[in-house]
Amino acid sequence: MEQHLPRGSRPKRQKARSVAQAYLALLADRGVDYLFGNAGTDFAPLVEAFAQAAQAGISVPRPILAAHENLAVAMAHGYGMVSRRIPAVMVHVSVGTANMICAAMNAARENVAMLLTAGRSPLTETGLFGSRDGYIHWAQEMYDQAGMIREIVKWDYELRNAEQLATVVDRALAIAASEPRGPVYLSLPREVIAARISETGAPPPSRSAAAAPPAPDADAIAAAARELANAKRPLIVTSNAGRDAAAFAALARFAERFAIPVVQHRPRYLSLPSSHPMNLGFDPARLVPMADAILVIESDVPWIPSRIGPRPDCKVVHCGLDPLFTRTPIRGFPCDVAVTGGTLAVLSSLASALEEFADAQSLATRRRWIADERAALIAGWKTALDAAARKAPLDPAWVSHCIDRAKEPHAIVINEYTLFPEHCTFELPDLYFGSSAASGLGWGAAAALGAKLARPHGSVIAVVGDGAYMFSNPVAVHHAAALHDLPVLFVVMNNAMWGAVERSTLAMYPDGQASRSNAPPFVHLAKLPAFERICEAAGGNGERVEDPASLPGALERAMSVVSKERRQALVNVICGPGGTA
């Protein structure tokens, strides 16, 4: 978009005419490249400020219109997740805030930093520039607008005057960027951002540094090392070690050096290459009960205690930026040592501490055991895939395998839980992202658009269920893909149901009445629209696949549309039951 100067260029010294204009210039100066927005009457000063900035050549974030608030926040999530930069989001007062909360929960639980903002109904009924001039300005006001989202964000505030602008924005960004990272929320009343200010020029550089994470405590590392060194069957369980992309290689080295198998339970960030010899898949059920020491790295739920658990004498070490997950009300996993720190720092300290205990003979014995476990695991996956192959309706395991075959080696895959990662190969960090532990559905398709914004030259594939697709507000998603030139491939694993609801009902009531019913309520999604035509309606390419033999060809055509024609594409794959949520 021509009105925006390239990243890194300093804004011209220019008289800012409004707080809104100074605010936008400040965001750009602080490295906020994008402002995802869903507008209302509170946006008037910002709309004007964007137009003035374009005319005056002032650098401001690029505005990204999203036709629903959850889409705006989930796009920002995808963008921040891939780029690790901080996006801003602006929504319409109380009602816009209400609409964005689900997506904000997803981002908060995955520690994705973002500046969430909302207008506030004009405070004054008359007398100021920007005072109330619409009947909505009374009913949309709330006693505590931020209260709706306060539990989710790390910090909230309301901008009250121009003088505090830099202090407030810098504090918001510094808190969002400090580990554990997360969204912050700032409300912007209309008269405050409409106020005129005489001169600002380029904002002074920020003096609000993000806080560095704590270094792992030496005693805690020594205690953790003792537990691991004494173990014959140690195990690492992680969900998010790879959130720090540098930790990806560190975990690979650590696991290999000390011969410790790794299970990635419900990964949101990939933590280990698929082909790594210590990679023992995604299900902790077999290994946790065998383990005599478990190192939990950045995992809120390392196993499901109602299904399995470690032996009573198994020692458990939790490490992470918030190893006790203090924002989760109840979480009772056994914990003998808790180490606070980033994965890279923890692994490096632990590696030094473990070196003195390393005994080549026992490591070699363990390596053989892990190799056997891995061979058995891979054989099991192959058996499952063979059984799934070419079934009609299509089996999600087979669809996962076909997606893997079709994708380029550096493609990013965003999985809103229906893809089976064990049937795919991901060798590098940041090529696979799973949906948030909060599991607010409707995330995947939108996050893929944000990921594409962060990696415009790479291919991005979103894999979603029919339920998740409809939660994502598909018309708004396809509109955003077209509007912002974000050609993404959407694969819908369409089993015409909320399979998770059925699985949960059968798990609780295996012999219940619902299990004998052909049509239990709140499970089947009959009369679904032709999803492929929703994508087509936005100028994309759509295909429906019912015959397993035609899936590889359909995926190949869709990839080619995305990469060569730069158009979005959707493959609606008619599937049978599957999934694991």
Interaction partner, residue 106 (ligand TPP, Mg ion, none; CB < 5-8 Å by kind): none
Which residues between 469 and 528 bind ligand TPP (CB under 6 A)? 471, 495, 497-501
**Cα 211–212–215 angle (5° rounding)?**
140
Q: How many residues touch Mg ion (CB under 5 A)?
A: 6
Q: List Cβ neighbours of 283 (8 Å cut-off, separation of 6 or more).
A: 263, 265
Q: List Cβ neighbours of 292 (8 Å cut-off, separation of 6 or more).
A: 230, 231, 232, 233, 234, 311, 313, 314, 315
Which among 81-89, 111-119, 347-355, 463-471 is the span making contact with ligand TPP, rule CB under 6 A? 463-471
Q: Are 319 and 294 in contact (CB under 8 A)?
A: no
Two tokens, residue 182: 């997360």
CA gap 16, 199 in Å, rounded: 6
Least distance in Å: CB of 181 to Mg ion? Answer: 32
Which among 57-65, 70-78, 83-91, 495-503 is the span making contact with Mg ion, rule CB under 5 A? 495-503
Q: Residue of minimal CB distance from Mg ion?
A: 465
CB atoms < 10 A from the CB of 59, how many? 21
Alpha-carbon separation of residue 412 from 72, 407, 460, 555, 562 (angstroms): 20, 9, 5, 15, 13
Residue 235, H or E segment: strand 234-238
33 lines the binding site for Mg ion (CB under 5 A): no
468 lines the binding site for ligand TPP (CB under 6 A): yes
Closer residue to ligand TPP in complex, CB, 102/280: 102
Closer residue to Mg ion in complex, CB, 21/572: 572
CA gap 436, 448 in Å, rounded: 13
435 lines the binding site for ligand TPP (CB under 6 A): no
467 lines the binding site for ligand TPP (CB under 6 A): yes
87 lines the binding site for ligand TPP (CB under 6 A): no
CA gap 220, 260 in Å, rounded: 19
Which residues between 89 and 128 bind ligand TPP (CB under 6 A)? 102
561: three-class secondary structure by DSSP: helix
302 lines the binding site for ligand TPP (CB under 6 A): no
578 lines the binding site for Mg ion (CB under 5 A): no
Alpha helices by DSSP H, 211-342 = 218-229, 245-258
Least distance in Å: CB of 23 to ligand TPP? Answer: 32
Interaction partner, residue 415 (ligand TPP, Mg ion, none; CB < 5-8 Å by kind): none
CA gap 359, 395 in Å, rounded: 45
Interaction partner, residue 335 (Mg ion, ligand TPP, none; CB < 5-8 Å by kind): none
Which residues between 556 and 575 bind ligand TPP (CB under 6 A)? none
Closer residue to ligand TPP in complex, CB, 102/228: 102
Residue 234, H or E segment: strand 234-238
Interaction partner, residue 506 (Mg ion, ligand TPP, none; CB < 5-8 Å by kind): none
Interaction partner, residue 450 (Mg ion, ligand TPP, none; CB < 5-8 Å by kind): none
Closer residue to Mg ion in complex, CB, 198/518: 518
Among residues 107, 108, 80, 37, which one has the least CA distance to residue 454? 80
Closer residue to Mg ion in complex, CB, 388/497: 497
Q: How many residues touch ligand TPP (CB under 6 A)?
A: 18
Alpha-carbon separation of residue 577 from 392, 394, 492 (angstroms): 11, 9, 13
CB atoms < 10 A from the CB of 201, how many? 13
Q: Are 18 and 45 in contact (CB under 8 A)?
A: yes
Closer residue to ligand TPP in complex, CB, 335/475: 475
Which residues between 434 and 493 bind Mg ion (CB under 5 A)? 465-467
444 lines the binding site for ligand TPP (CB under 6 A): no
Which among 47-55, 259-267, 467-475, 477-485 is the span making contact with ligand TPP, rule CB under 6 A? 467-475
Q: Pick from 440, 450, 487, 540: which binds ligand TPP (CB under 6 A)?
A: 440
Q: Is 507 exposed, middle or buried (0-12, 13-18, 19+ CB in 10 A)?
A: exposed
88: three-class secondary structure by DSSP: strand
Least distance in Å: CB of 397 to Mg ion? Answer: 15
Least distance in Å: CB of 390 to ligand TPP? Answer: 20
Two tokens, residue 493: 């694993």
CA gap 275, 261 in Å, rounded: 13
CA gap 457, 444 in Å, rounded: 19
List the beta bridge partners of residue 269. Answer: 433
Interaction partner, residue 421 (Mg ion, ligand TPP, none; CB < 5-8 Å by kind): none
Sheet holding 541-545, edge to edge: 432-434, 412-415, 460-465, 489-494, 569-574, 541-545
Which among 203-211, 337-345, 397-405, 497-505 is the span making contact with Mg ion, rule CB under 5 A? 497-505
Closer residue to Mg ion in complex, CB, 178/495: 495
Among residues 475, 459, 494, which one has the least CA distance to residue 571? 494
Closer residue to ligand TPP in complex, CB, 281/499: 499
Interaction partner, residue 97 (ligand TPP, Mg ion, none; CB < 5-8 Å by kind): none
495 lines the binding site for Mg ion (CB under 5 A): yes
Least distance in Å: CB of 50 to ligand TPP? Answer: 32
CB atoms < 10 A from the CB of 245, how many? 14
Q: Are 317 and 295 in contact (CB under 8 A)?
A: yes
Closer residue to ligand TPP in complex, CB, 64/441: 441
Least distance in Å: CB of 501 to Mg ion? Answer: 9
Q: Can you give the binding site for Mg ion, defined by CB under 5 A?
A: 465-467, 495, 497, 499
Q: Can you give the binding site for ligand TPP, defined by CB under 6 A?
A: 102, 418, 439-441, 465-468, 471, 495, 497-501, 579, 581
